[in-house]
Structures are given as structure tokens and as C-alpha cells.
Amino acid sequence: MTRLEQIAAALKAARLDGWLFYDFRLSDPLAYRILNVPSGATTTRRWFCYVPATDAPIAIVSAVEAHRLDALAARKVVYRSYDEMTSALGNALTGARRIAMNYSPRAAIPYVSRVDAGTLEMVRGCGVEVVSAADLIQRFEASLTAAQLESHHRAAAALRAVVDETFADMAERIEGRRPVSERSVQAFVMERIAARGLATHEPPIVAVNEHSSDPHFDLNRAEERAIRTGDFVLLDLWAKESSPDSIYADFTWTAFVGLEAPAEHARIFQIVAKARDAVVELIEQRIASRQAISGREADRAARAVIEEAGLSESFVHRTGHSIGREVHGTGANLDSLETLDDRSLIESTCFSVEPGIYLPGRFGVRSELDMTIENGCARVSGEPRQRAIVALLGQRF
């Protein structure tokens, strides 16, 4: 079955008349990936591709770039003027009542919100109802092949080893009275990622003490800190294999430079870990019983634990995100805070589970693992997961 046939079948199942794709100057990279068409070196004119549920696809392209969608087995309509373009669009949508586009009502899910308001006005002016393609996008963009899932698990195993190697190197340097800093740890992680045949789009987060209270701490925005005995360290790292279709792994671990983490740090970690494990258990139970679970529900499971501890205001981000070829993918996110993601977690997808508590000016704790749904089972990547803050000194790695 071709990709266009797969899309048509999905539209029938969703009781939609069609899926209208639109792009202007690479405004929608999802459209290229889902349709399996090259973006091309020169993409300067608007194009539409209408894939109906029961008829032949139609490609509406500019005379300046009439070749743009030639890779598709679609009937081509070439326009020169704005009037010709809108007329072609109206003709293509004749008879359709309810279609999908790559947009999200009120921009609730920005990952899939690719169509501008003016274009939506134009399409609605053709007399059709436009609904979000968010669920369709997840099916075609976030649903992974068996080979991709295996690439994720290999990356997860390698990345977990990098975590252990990094903490061992930190301990050795500190015990040997050799200098170590946020930036030197960052460089070490990048070297170990490369040594294990992985790649990443940007360096990891290495955040010491109060720097860890910034969820996306950036060394380029702050003065670098040396790491010394008595310091708390948060390490957030992500990587994947070098193949373009490979899938990321993404973990966050925490450590204390000493024999035992302070009581307050340990208490906060246990709350975060309890929230993390509540999500894992809920997802495992729902998937095992063949019951749907939305990203919004999964987020609430973590948030309830942290709210019960009286720290709701310190949990400032969603519980998890979709993972794909990019570390932040286009599938369902575990989110009832930043967005209300009511998409279900579906088969053959990957996502993070990473609740956190951040105490400004003091420290922040995040514990992150990844999960996949494969063959009707929910699976945690990169076990063993973190059960306590790692005490770097006096421990054998």
C-alpha cells in the first residue's frame, strides 16, 4: 500500500473527507515527511496537496515551481495567479464537507500547528469544516517502525552507559583533586556520546546547585561553575544513532558530590521519583488492559503526586514529550499544563516521563526516563531507572 493509499484509509477510518496539505517556503516540514516528497533546494511558492478519502489526490502548484510535487501520483493543477490558485483550491474541495489540516485549534499543540490563520480563512471560505490533523500526524509521523524502535533501545542502552561513565569520571577527578566544571563535564559527555557511535543536535545540560533550578539551564547564559565536594549536579542528556531515521533517547539523572545527599535534596528526589513511577504504572496498566490513555491523563498522574506534597507551583513544565527523529517529536505529549494534549498514547510510539521540582535560587530535581509502546505493551527504556540521588564519593562505579 502506497503512502497516499495509507492516508486515504486513515481518512475513511476517521470519517473525514480528506486531508489538505499546504506549504509556503518550508512552513510545514511535516507535510514533506508525511507525503514522502523532497523539499527541494528552491521552495518559494505556495502549494497544496489534497488527499481525499475516496478519490485521486490533487496537487496544486505554481507555474514557477510546477515540478514541486511531481514525486506524488497526483493529478497536477498549475496556477499562475492568486485567483487561479483559489479557484483550483475550490474545485479540489468541491463535495467535501469535513477535512483535516495541519493546525491546532487555538494553537493548543504547537508541534502540529503549521497552517497560518489566513490560509485557514481561505480554505474555510471554500465551504468546508477544517479540523485538526493532530491524530493523523501522530499516526504517520510519530508511529515508529520496528527498526526505529530498536534504534531507540540501542541508543538508550548506550546513553545510560554514558551517564555511569560521566559520574565515574567526575568522582575520579574530584577524589584526585583535579579540576572539573559544568563545561568540562559537558565536553566529556559529548566525547563519550561520539565514542559510542551516537550523535546529538546540541550539548547536554550540566547544572550545579542553583543552576539546576532552571529547567533548561544554558551555560552560554551564565557563569560556568566549578564542581566541588558538597555540590549537587543535574545531568540531562540526549542522543541517537547517526542514521537519519534513528530515534533519540533522553535521560536526566542527578548526583551529589559527597558520601550522602542532604536530607532536603533526597526528600525532593523521592517526591519526583514517586511522581515518575505513578505515570509509568498508570501507562503500563492502561496499555496492558487495552484501555486508552491520553497524554493529559498521564501528566495528571504525576502532577497529583507533586500537588499532594504541596509543591505544585514548583512543577513548571509538562511531564513528558514525544520522542522521534528529533528529541521532541510530534506525537502525544504528557501534558495538562502547557497544553491540553488529549491525544491517546498509541502503539509504536516513544515518549519521555520527566517530572521535576524546581526551587529557585536553591536547586532543582528532575528524573527522566523514556517509554515505548510496542506489541501492546508499555516498556521502560534504559533500566535501571534512578532510585536515589547518586552519591559520587566513596562509591565504586
101, three cell numbers: 489540516
Q: Which residues pair with 101 in a beta bridge?
A: 132
The confidence score (pLDDT) of residue 395 equals 67
98, three cell numbers: 469535513
The confidence score (pLDDT) of residue 39 equals 87
Contact of 283 with 298, CB cutoff 8 Å: yes
pLDDT digits (tens, 9 = 90+) for 61-92: 999 999 999 999 999 999 999 999 999 999 99
**What residues in the chain have per-residue pLDDT under 50?**
none
d(CA 271, CA 327): 26
The confidence score (pLDDT) of residue 396 equals 58
Burial 326-360 (b: 16+ CB within 10 A, else e): ebebbbbbbbbbebebbbbbbebbbbbbbbbbbbe
The confidence score (pLDDT) of residue 222 equals 82
Helical ranges in the chain per DSSP H: 3-13, 29-35, 82-92, 117-124, 134-137, 146-175, 182-195, 263-288, 295-308
Domains in the chain, CATH or no CATH each: 3-140 (3.40.350.10), 143-391 (3.90.230.10)
19, three cell numbers: 486531508
The confidence score (pLDDT) of residue 104 equals 94
The reported pTM is 0.93
User: How many other C-beta atoms can be found within 10 angstroms of the C-beta atom of residue 310?
Assistant: 9
The confidence score (pLDDT) of residue 377 equals 97
57, three cell numbers: 489526490
Q: Smallest Cα–Cα separation from 46: which of 1, 75, 100, 82? A: 82
301, three cell numbers: 498522574
The confidence score (pLDDT) of residue 1 equals 82
Q: How far is CA 4 from the centre of its chain?
A: 25
Written as one letter, the residue type at 11 is L
